[in-house]
C-alpha cells in the first residue's frame, strides 16, 4: 500500500505526543522497527537499536518533563511503501540533572531526518527505521537553556 502525506503527518504527530506524555515504552516501540532500526540522539555516542532506544527512553523520561513537541513541517519523499522525511519540530521542555538546585527550560527547533515504512505493528500502519534527531544544529530560542 502506498503511503500518503496525511497518514505520515498523523504518525509523526503520534510519535511526538507519545514522547510528550511519557507514554509507556511499549507504545513507542510499536512505532519503531523491531529488527533494523537506527536511531541517533544528540546525547548518543552513535546509533541505537531497539534495545538501546528503550534504555535511552527510560533515562530521558527521568530528566525531561513538561514537554511540548509542535510539528512545524513534515516534507515527505514517498516511494511506495517507504518514505524519507525532513521533519522540523519545535520542542520545549524542562529538565533537571541532579544534584542541581533548580530545573532549566529549553526551547528550540530541531531539524530531523526520518525513514519510515509500512507496517502492521500499530494503527498508523507505519514504523520508523531511521531517525536522526539532529540533522542540523538546534535553533534555540533566545534566553532558554541549551542542552
pLDDT digit string (tens) for 11-68? 999 999 999 999 999 999 999 999 889 999 887 666 788 888 999 999 999 999 999 9
Q: What's the rounded Cα separation, in Å, for the pair 134 and 40?
A: 8
pLDDT tens digits, one per residue of 72-123 = 999 999 999 999 999 999 999 999 999 999 999 999 999 999 999 999 999 9
Tell me, yes or no, whether 146 lies in a domain. no
Q: Are 32 and 124 in contact (CB under 8 A)?
A: no
How many residues are there in the chain?
147
CATH number for the domain spanning 128: value is 3.10.450.50
Tell me, yes or no, whether 92 lies in a domain. yes
Q: What is the pTM of this model?
A: 0.94
**Of residues 16, 22, 56, 17, the one with CA closest to residue 37:** 56
Q: How much is the pLDDT for 35?
A: 87
Number of domains in the chain: 1
Q: How much is the pLDDT for 49?
A: 87
Residue 1 pLDDT level (bands cut at 50, 70, 90): confident
Mean pLDDT for the stretch of residues 115-134: 96
Q: What's the rounded Cα separation, in Å, for the pair 129 and 122?
A: 14
More confident site: 127 or 47: 127
The answer to whether the peptide bond before residue 37 is cis (omega within 30 degrees of 0) is no
Tell me, yes or no, whether 46 lies in a domain. yes
Q: What's the rounded Cα separation, in Å, for the pair 108 and 118?
A: 30
User: Does 137 score more than 80 pLDDT?
Assistant: yes
Q: What's the rounded Cα separation, in Å, for the pair 129 and 83?
A: 10
Domain extent at residue 81: 5-140
Tell me, yes or no, whether 110 lies in a domain. yes
Task: Please state the three-class secondary structure of 29-55 as a single string.
Answer: HCCECCCCCEEECCCCCCCECHHHHHH
Q: How much is the pLDDT for 47?
A: 75
Amino acid at each position: 500500500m502506498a503511503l500518503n502525506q496525511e497518514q505520515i503527518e498523523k504518525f509523526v504527530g503520534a510519535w511526538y505526543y507519545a514522547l510528550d506524555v511519557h507514554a509507556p515504552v511499549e507504545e513507542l516501540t510499536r512505532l519503531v522497527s523491531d529488527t533494523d532500526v537506527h536511531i541517533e540522539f544528540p546525547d548518543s555516542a552513535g546509533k541505537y537499536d531497539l534495545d538501546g532506544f528503550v534504555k535511552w527512553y527510560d533515562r530521558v523520561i527521568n530528566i525531561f518533563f513538561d514537554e511540548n513537541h509542535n510539528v512545524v513541517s513534515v516534507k515527505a519523499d514517498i516511494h511506495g511503501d517507504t518514505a524519507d522525511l525532513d521533519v522540523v519540530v519545535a520542542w520545549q521542555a524542562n529538565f533537571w540533572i541532579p544534584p542541581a538546585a533548580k530545573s532549566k527550560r529549553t526551547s528550540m527547533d530541531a531539524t530531523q531526518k526520518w525513514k519510515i515504512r509500512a507496517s502492521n505493528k500499530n494503527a498508523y500502519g507505519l514504523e520508523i527505521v531511521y531517525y536522526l534527531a539532529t540533522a542540523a544544529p538546534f535553533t534555540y530560542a533566545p534566553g532558554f537553556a541549551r542542552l
